Structure 1
Amino acid sequence: MKLKNIQKIFSLSQSKFAIALLLALFSCTSYPLTLIAKSQQPTSSGNQPPQDGSSRGRPTQRGGAGSRGNCPSVEVPIVALTPEKTVSSVVEANPTFWVFVPYQLKDVPNGEFVLQDEANNDIYRASFSLPEIPGIVSFTLPSAIPLEVNKRYQWYFKVYCNQQKFDSAFVHEWVQRIALKSDLERQLKTTTTIRDRIQLYTQNGIWYSALTELAKLRLAEPKNATLDNEWASLMKNIDLENLSQKPLVGEVKIKQ
């Protein structure tokens, strides 16, 4: 065989080998590159409420959360007076929300109440200041912002421990306004005392309404031992008996 032909065969073999080597290298690296590309895709935060209307999976935070760097040290954190991990019911269009706040006004200059729908859209937002002393406070939704029947809402009660609002503590809960069944509505209309109405609310799981009615009675009669005992029983039903002796100090003051 002539030398020139041998060189051509050798050159062709080298080219085929180079192509085969490149294909092999590409096949080895393409799979990891695919995994890397997938790992960089954005993922869902998982904080959206489910679309099936159930309360399962809805995030709540009955006890204090947030960045509390400059907030004073306390034995009991901020706590919403609600059953834990559930969507609580109310019959009023403008319910009152109750929260235990362990901070004094001088330590917590600012607060904020936020009402949102299930899709995390703001419906109402208001700044407030706390009463002078720590205790159980309330926030009543204004008449211009009524809850719609059979809709679920989430609410936040936040307190800020500095003017810049960097450090905070908050609670986050869910509420649903329900329509009264005819027999319960009839019973409520025929009750002779507020305490009977509270009992009916409690028996039917209408927590916010029961709590508000009893809290108003206690504020009107702060030395009534019977009401104190009923309040302690109500707190025990939702595993908040440690708050039964905390003072009711009234509404927060909305800032204009």
Structure 2
Amino acid sequence: MKLKNIQKIFFISESKFIIILLLAMFSCTSYPLTLIAKSQQPASSGNQPPQDGSSRGRPSKRGGAGSRGNCPSVEVPLIALIPEKKVGLIVEENATFWVFVPYQPNDVFGGEFVLQDEANNDIYRASFTPPEIPGIVSFSLPSTVPLKVNKTYQWYFKLYCNQQQRLDSVFVRGWVQRIALTPNFERQLKAATTLRDRIQLYIQNGIWYSALTELAKFRFAEPKNTTLDNEWASLLRNIELENLAKKPLVGEVKIKQ
């Protein structure tokens, strides 16, 4: 075989080897390259509220946790009416929180509400009197404790079952973040002709606390309105707490002076 033909064959073989090698290298690196490309995408501008409240998810304690040594056994535990494992959003600066309390007044000797920042620093702390009957209660922050826009807070609702030892408690913990309404969302709210439309807008955008409080206020005003009862059950079904739909709305707990 002539030398030129040998060189030509060698060149073709070498070229195929290089192509195969490049293809193999590309197939091994394509996944990391995809991840890098995604990580370099621009972040959301923040013009729209999060759709599910999970953009800054934090672990919560929706069901009662803590020492239950002197707390009586109950069929349904202490429960916060919040989305599980998500940050609930709110648009109002003065927040209201809702909790189902299963205990009789003689079983609980006191309660405490605590609001903290993300670094566990106390912002507000107050003792309250437990409700007179089991049911869903609320706790509203005073006007002197407004929530700041785009700040995330954690809150605790505690009940003490031992008059002598305050460490013997049961509690729930949740997270809340206040957001500013965008002009577009404000227009949508103003265009909503029914309470149901407003509630649906809140839920679709993860604004849980505003939805719950607004509907609860209407139920207090019209306790025999079956339509509102159905809306309440539907709302709680969104967070898989439909078992609380029939529990009575007791009202706001009284802060101890």
Indicate the TM-score class for this superposition, using the shorter chain for normalisation. 0.7 to 0.9
Q: Report the AA paired with residue 122 of structure 1.
A: D
The Cα shift of 1:54 comes to 5.6
Matches within 5 A, 1:220-239: 220-239=221-240
What's the counterpart of residue 220 of structure 2?
A: 219
What's the counterpart of residue 248 of structure 2?
A: 247
Q: Report the AA paired with residue 188 of structure 2.
A: Q
What's the counterpart of residue 118 of structure 1?
A: 118
What's the counterpart of residue 72 of structure 1?
A: 72
The Cα shift of 1:203 comes to 2.0
Task: Report the structure number with the largest CA radius of gyration.
Answer: 1
What's the counterpart of residue 178 of structure 2?
A: 177
In structure 1, list runs of 5 or more residues that go unmatched. 1-52
TM-score normalised by structure 1 residue count:
0.76
Q: Deviations over 1:142-187 (max 9, x none)?
A: 1000000000000000000122313211001110000111111122
Return the alpha-carbon distance in structure 2 between the equivalents of residues 104 and 254 of structure 1: 18
Matches within 5 A, 1:44-193: 55-56=56-57, 58-164=58-164, 165-193=166-194
The answer to whether the 8 A contact 2:59-2:86 is kept is no
Return the alpha-carbon distance in structure 2 between the equivalents of residues 79 and 134 of structure 1: 12
The answer to whether the 8 A contact 1:105-1:129 is kept is no
> Alignment partner of 1:94: what SS?
coil
In structure 2, list runs of 5 or more residues that go unmatched. 1-53
The Cα shift of 1:218 comes to 0.8
The answer to whether the 8 A contact 1:128-1:255 is kept is yes
Return the alpha-carbon distance in structure 2 between the equivalents of residues 252 and 191 of structure 1: 32
Percent identity at matched positions?
A: 77
TM-score normalised by structure 2 residue count:
0.76
Q: Deviations over 1:105-149 (max 9, x none)?
A: 221120000000000000000000122100000000110000000
CA RMSD of aligned residues (A): 1.4
Return the alpha-carbon distance in structure 2 between the equivalents of residues 64 and 176 of structure 1: 22
What's the counterpart of residue 28 of structure 2?
A: none
The Cα shift of 1:194 comes to 3.5
> Alignment partner of 1:200: what SS?
helix
Return the alpha-carbon distance in structure 2 between the equivalents of residues 123 and 202 of structure 1: 27
What's the counterpart of residue 28 of structure 1?
A: none
The answer to whether the 8 A contact 2:196-2:231 is kept is no
The answer to whether the 8 A contact 1:79-1:100 is kept is yes
Aligned pairs, how many? 203
Q: Deviations over 1:79-117 (max 9, x none)?
A: 000110011100000111000010122211200000000
The answer to whether the 8 A contact 1:90-1:207 is kept is yes
What's the counterpart of residue 209 of structure 1?
A: 210
